[in-house]
Amino acid sequence: RTIGDRIGEAKASGNLGNTLKILGQFDEAVVCCQRHLDISREQGDKVGEARALYNIGNVYHAKGKNLSWNTAQDPGYLPQEVKDTLQKASEYYERNLSLVKELGDRAAQGRAYGNLGNTQYLLGNFSEAIAFHKERLAIAKEFGDKAAERRAYSNLGNAHIFLGRFDVSAEYYKKTLQLSRQLRDQAVEAQACYSLGNTCTLLQDYEKAIEYHLRHLVIAQELGDR
């Protein structure tokens, strides 16, 4: 501010916002991220504007998740305050998405799609969540981003469960399991086995369910995860 560096001030405000979000000070975080947005617009900085929109979405997303943990509800069955907060997150992600499309930034589009999928899932809009996660998956494959691809499969599996498409979920969870092994991520492998165990139970394939739950148990013991 002293040297009149507006872009620098915008970035610093954005960083403050992100830090306040991590500290759980969501309302203060929004104020800082909004300043990042306002200055970026004033300076005609499209990249900064896109980043600020994404960051504000993240603040509302984190706030919504934080509020929903306190109520421990299934996706879709949320108090109004939580719904409104997640809806706001979704709106900012949508605005970010249209701007990064304009800028031709595919990686940023992938991030926006993933977060839109997650917010719609929490809101109980499972079909919309699936559409967004499929877009996320396509971009992850485009970039050869195995970790993002794995997350997309996992999220697609979760959303299909709530639509009662257990067989489709099982296929997505199997892909999650495959990738977690490729990535040598044992905690994620355990999680995938757990999801597959539950899905096989829903499909009444009890032999397979036992197999997956035992695998989950073995990894949990290996990791010393009580």
pLDDT in tens, 203-212: 999 999 999 9
In this prediction the pTM is 0.93
Instruction: Supply 80's token pair.
Output: 């109004």
CATH number, position 35 = 1.25.40.10
Chain-centre distance for alpha carbon 225? 24
Same domain, yes or no: 61 and 112:
yes
Q: Which residue range is the domain that position 205 belongs to?
A: 146-225
Q: 54-95 pLDDT, tens per residue?
A: 999 999 999 999 988 877 667 778 899 999 999 999 999 999
Q: Does 198 lie in the same domain as 93? A: no
How many percent of the chain have pLDDT more than 70? 99
Query: pLDDT tens-digit profile of 148-200?
Result: 999 999 999 999 999 999 999 999 999 999 999 999 999 999 999 999 999 99
**219 near 190, Cβ under 8 Å?**
yes
The Cα 79–Cα 81 span in angstroms is: 6
Phi, psi of 16 (to 5 degrees): -60, -45
The answer to whether the beta carbons of residues 107 and 95 sit under 8 Å apart is no
**Phi/psi class of residue 184: alpha, beta or left (left: φ > 0; alpha: ψ in -120 to 50)?**
left
Residue 132: pLDDT over 70 = yes
- In this structure, the answer to whether residues 139 and 151 fall within a common structural domain is no
Specify whether 157 is located in the same domain as 140: no
The predicted structure's pLDDT at residue 76: 74
Q: What is the pLDDT of residue 72?
A: 64
pLDDT of the residue at 145 = 96
